[in-house]
Amino acid sequence: MSLAMRLQGPAPLRWVTRGWVTRAALALFACGVLAGCNPPGRPGPEPEVIRPEALVDYPTLYKGNCAGCHGARGVNGASIPLANPVLLGIMGHDALRDTIAKGVPGSLMPPFGKSNGGTLTDQQVEILAKGVLAEWGTGQPAGGEHPAYRPAQPGDVAHGQQAYTAACARCHGANGEGDAKFKTGSIADPTYVALVSDQFLRNLILGGRPDENMPDYRSDMSRPLTDQEITDIVAWLAAKRVSDPGQPYRNPATHE
């Protein structure tokens, strides 16, 4: 008997071993097929991924597109709160939809509609507008009479200072510098007003900040602010903007 045969063992034993291995492999393969298992090395089925344009669930759309700036519950975000029934009542469906689709020029609010360079379809923009109104737009301004969401004409800076003094100075300081008693920061700082749009300022006056106890346009006065007074206050604040925010301020005498 050769050395190779001695190492491999007797012929009957070799056939028995080979037959057992073959039967075991076939049994394992059959088990895998019947159990729906994938062969070794092949990845299993992945969860179905919905195409972005097919997503029509309002909570998911809001979380992915709005919550980062406006807060998960419409408050405590970096931008103006959406959980504000007075502001939403003034704004209405069409203005809210257009703002989502087109953004706010001169601010950090980008356009989300595909036709304006965003990623959302018209249907998704509509779902967001209706969802925000359904969730937080539960109130209307008293009597149904209220200023317009957007100004109808330019504001007057001088009249704006007068209206500001009457309606806002008690909490925000005589010149908008803030008041430690009410824990308000400066709303007239040139860098601040350079970072926000006129519409943002108007929205703050219209709807206030209920999350920070700031009253809306009905204010603390004996009467509400008129549409023109709001427009004038915004003009007074906007006049404090600088063209190069964050840079060393120019010397007004030398313009350098």
Reported as a single tens digit per residue, the pLDDT across 159-176 is 999 999 999 999 999 999
Q: Torsion over CA of 93, 150, 79 and 201, rounded to 10 degrees?
A: -160
Per-residue pLDDT, averaged over 60-80, amounts to: 94
The angle that helices 227-238 and 157-167 make with each other, rounded to 10 degrees, is 110
Closest CA to 124 of 114, 134, 116, 133: 114
pLDDT at 18 over 60: no
Q: Mention every residue, 6+ apart, whose C-beta is less than 8 A from residue 184.
A: 171, 172, 173, 178
pLDDT in the model for residue 47? 72
pLDDT band at 130 (very low <50, low <70, confident <90, very high): very high
pLDDT band at 13 (very low <50, low <70, confident <90, very high): very low
Per-residue pLDDT, averaged over 198-205, amounts to: 94
* CA 190/CA 179 separation, integer angstroms: 17
- Helix, strand counts (H, E) of the chain: 11, 0
* CA 45/CA 194 separation, integer angstroms: 52
Q: Higher pLDDT residue, 221 or 203? A: 203
pLDDT in the model for residue 169? 92
Q: Can you list the positions of beta strands (E) in the chain?
A: none
- The secondary structure of residue 19, as a DSSP letter, is H
Alpha helical stretches, state H, the chain: 3-8, 11-35, 58-65, 67-70, 85-102, 122-136, 157-167, 169-172, 190-195, 198-207, 227-238
Domains observed in the chain: 53-142 (1.10.760.10), 153-238 (1.10.760.10)
Give the global pTM. Answer: 0.74
Q: What is the mean pLDDT of the chain?
A: 83
* CA 67/CA 64 separation, integer angstroms: 7
Per-residue pLDDT, averaged over 168-188, amounts to: 89
